[in-house]
Amino acid sequence: MDCIFCKIIKGELKSYKVYEDEETLAFLDINPVTNGHILIVPKNHYETIEEISEDKLGVLMKAIKKVGAKVKNAIEIEGYNVSLNNGSVAGQIIPHLHFHIIPRRENDGLSPWPHKQYEEGIAEELTKILRIEKEEK
């Protein structure tokens, strides 16, 4: 496998590790959006969020929470974004599941994607096809 994140996990490529446990690794992004931009990856290779088990995803989320709190306190920021680009069309460049922690400051110049309004009837139609019903026991 020629996955850059797998190589970082194995120690084959240099990284600036900030957190590691048995199942996750967090390191500075080499092309940061802001100073302190961190990537958090599962040590096992999963390409997208649909491939990881809920239990393993829970472990990953605990690491995200821990690293996010450390970033917020250590570099004294007001907040941070946690983001996932899931699939190449969504901007995922490395095909290994990873979350971004992007430190934010007031007036830092970053802005989220543009927001739009639904055309007449679209919200209702999407609700019908996207609704997940409560599972029967």
Evaluate whether residue 16 is within a structural domain.
Answer: yes
Evaluate whether residue 38 is within a structural domain.
Answer: yes
Q: Which domain holds residue 37?
A: 4-110
* 100 labelled catalytic: no
What digits encode the pLDDT tens for the residues 108-128? 989 878 889 999 999 999 999
Q: For the chain, what is the domain count?
A: 1
What pLDDT was estimated at residue 33? 94
What pLDDT was estimated at residue 50? 98
| Residue in 96, 98, 100, 115 annotated catalytic | 98
CATH assignment of the domain containing 83: 3.30.428.10
Structure tokens at 120: 């007449």
What pLDDT was estimated at residue 136? 47
Under-50 pLDDT residues of the chain: 136-137
What pLDDT was estimated at residue 135? 75
Q: CA 126, 114, 80: angle at the middle one, nearest 5?
A: 105
- Distance of CA 78 to CAs 9, 40, 71, 73, 121, Å? 30, 20, 10, 9, 39
